[in-house]
Amino acid sequence: MTTFNNGIGPYKMQISRMTVDKLGVRLYDRVSAVVAELIANAYDADAETVMVNVPLNTLLARRNSTTHEIEEFEHVIEVKDDGHGMTPSDVNEHFLWVGKDRRKDVKLGSRSRNKNRNVMGRKGIGKLAPFGICKIIEVISAGGNPTEKGYIVSHFKMDYDQILEHSDEPIEIERGELDRTYMKASGTTIRLSNFLPKRVPNRETFHRQLAVRFGIQKQDFNIQVTDSRNPVENKPFMIGSYDIPLMEETRIDLVDLPVELDDGQTLPVTGWMGLAKNAYKNEEMAGVRIYARGKIVATTRDFEKPAGYTGEFTLRSYLVGEVHADWIDEDDGEDLITTDRQDILWESDYGRALRKWGSDRIKAIGAASRQPRRDRVEMLFLKASDLDNRARDYFADSEVSSMAISLGKQIGRLASEDELNDGDYVESLTTVILTVAPHMALIEALKEFRSKALGLNGGIDKLLDLFSKTRIAEMASYAQIASERVEVIRRLTELIHNDPEESDLQSILADAPWLIEPTWTPITINQSLKQFVKGFENYYHKKFQEEVILAIDHHRKRPDFILANMSQKLHIVEIKAVGHTFKNADWDRLHNYLMAFRDFFRTHSKLEKKFEDSWVVDLICDSVNITEPNRDTSYRFWKNQGKIIQISWGDFLTRATLANEQFLDVQDRVRGEADRLSDEHEGS
């Protein structure tokens, strides 16, 4: 035996109750998780029926935003079972011994007392789970051997603040008024009160949250929930299994697919895996649930499979299943479950084997799911877009409409199923299909014409058909441009009449420069503009130590000016809010920029030559009122020199509408022209 000459005694370890708080209580912050722990205890106590009384869809307490104190409401959660209960000696010897492994206790063991069930509890901290949502746990339990008076009752209350005081000496728990009395039937009732600011979810969510926590395959265990706030209108309901609609082609039954260890041994698994028909709608639906002894121990979407595998997005969004593997929580083996009982130690020997097994299952499901999922998404897209009817209405030529439908099927298979309920997303795909279809039909006609021409069969007819499809494709391109311009004009009209922000107006002009000058085309976004932007921004910063932002298209920051190169002239657009009057201070700012633009081009003559018609500032504001004489004279000088063109928002909108009337006409003429060409071809 070791002795110490310096008077210091042997080393001792002291465990603080705050450790229990961190390892136990803080792991449970959801009402359903706490209730599930109490239900698991009832199962271990051989209960056949558990009655849960809980105020559904209710805030249990509220924290004052000013004082941060908790405002308590008069709510109680009660979990009552008909199990074998506890005597006072059972309570002291087992229940109040926190952290005791019941499975290693000779008197308790790993099987339940009467029904020989594999017990769920192990670490002895689940009894403290309610402290994650409340401060008072009241226990009323009748157990032991029946007597003439009935079963002896244990009644006590556990107070969170008392239990977790700084002192770590044993504490005396408050006894209740029913303690040492008798009841006719055995069982345990646990009442929770004095709540923290937690919310009980609604009926549907609470059912899901409890249902996924248990995978009990027994007929002699039932859970009934009653809404204590409204028990008359809201009938009690049973907690059953949580069923998820599957793509049946992807379902894999697991009973004949054991987990293989490196040494050749196998570990039994039951359950199923597959892909859900719909993407995850709630967190309970997500992933594969892994159960041991009928209680959930982990949920995984990929069995820790590294990112980057084929079909990753689909599998992570649709993979579901139930895996039952009691060996994860063996009595004598290594504890493979994390402290919070919500995941597996994946780096253990069994964990790595399960990870590899799961990866193999994912591959098999992925391979089986590809075609069914593509067919499903294709069907959903065609239905959401109504492409069949739209294509036949849009194109008189049956071959072009058939091409649109064929293209729709191809694109539909690649669509994001999650977004098929988004009308804008579906419409954008449909627009692309209707725009591209004539061109694809033209390509097919060219291939067929070439084949026929080489064979000298049907050459004239195919040539006429080729000309027809060429015109249809050309008209479809114009129709797309017309449609886009009509939509932009509609948006601009709506903005102007609804007091828009300057940034909104700047954004729409940057995206649609043809509003400034109808001759603009995408080709005019050229290198000269980019060179001017880079050169002038650097020049201005060096000279004035200030930043200026010039935008060619939509810009990440709010620009000072918007640029467009049209008809060999550089347009520098300055906009003001709708209704704004351009005054003295506005002129001072713009005048500084005008001088800077002029001086920049004088020192960059090569760049200036790229804009043959020079440059101009388009000032879009509703009125000008420069009252100071010198400023007014200066403004008029620049305007007379043709360097400023001022226009109101009303006139701007009118000009844009009139200038694009031809595109509005095109939209009306497209179908008529296509019909005429089709009629001519059929009559030839």
Mean pLDDT of the chain: 80
Pairwise CA distance, residues 601 & 615, whole Å: 10
**Overall average pLDDT of the 274-298 stretch:** 88
Asked if 559 contacts 550 with a C-beta cutoff of 8 angstroms, the reply is yes
Confidence of residue 557 (pLDDT cuts 50, 70, 90): low
Predicted structure pTM score: 0.60
Q: Among candidates 42, 38, 26, 80, which has minimal Cα distance to 196?
A: 26
Identify the pLDDT of residue 463.
47
DSSP 549-618: -EESS--SS--SEEEEEETTEEEEEEE--TT-EE-HHHHHHHHHHHHHHHHHHHH-HHHHHTSTT-EEEE
Identify the pLDDT of residue 522.
44
Beta strands 134-143 and 151-159, pairing class: antiparallel
Confidence of residue 188 (pLDDT cuts 50, 70, 90): very high
The percent of residues in the chain predicted with pLDDT above 90, rounded, is 28
Q: Among candidates 389, 38, 23, 19, which has minimal Cα distance to 188?
A: 38
Residue with structure tokens 């050459």?
A: 459
Q: Among candidates 310, 249, 242, which has minimal Cα distance to 281?
A: 242
**Overall average pLDDT of the 267-279 stretch:** 90
Tell me: pLDDT of 466 over 60. Answer: no
Confidence of residue 16 (pLDDT cuts 50, 70, 90): low
Q: Is 388 exposed, middle or buried (0-12, 13-18, 19+ CB in 10 A)?
A: middle
Identify the pLDDT of residue 654.
80
Q: Among candidates 291, 266, 293, 288, which has minimal Cα distance to 359?
A: 288
**Overall average pLDDT of the 87-96 stretch:** 87
Tell me: pLDDT of 274 over 80. Answer: yes
Higher pLDDT, 498 or 516: 498
**Overall average pLDDT of the 113-117 stretch:** 89
Pairwise CA distance, residues 191 & 157, whole Å: 9
Q: Among candidates 247, 371, 378, which has minimal Cα distance to 318?
A: 247
Tell me how far CA of residue 677 lies from CA of 160, 439, 466, 618, in angstroms: 85, 16, 11, 43
Tell me: pLDDT of 9 over 90. Answer: no
Tell me: pLDDT of 203 over 90. Answer: yes
Higher pLDDT, 605 or 77: 77
Identify the pLDDT of residue 337.
76
Confidence of residue 81 (pLDDT cuts 50, 70, 90): very high
Tell me: pLDDT of 150 over 90. Answer: yes
Mean pLDDT is highest, among 73-82, 293-302, 402-411, 519-528, for 73-82
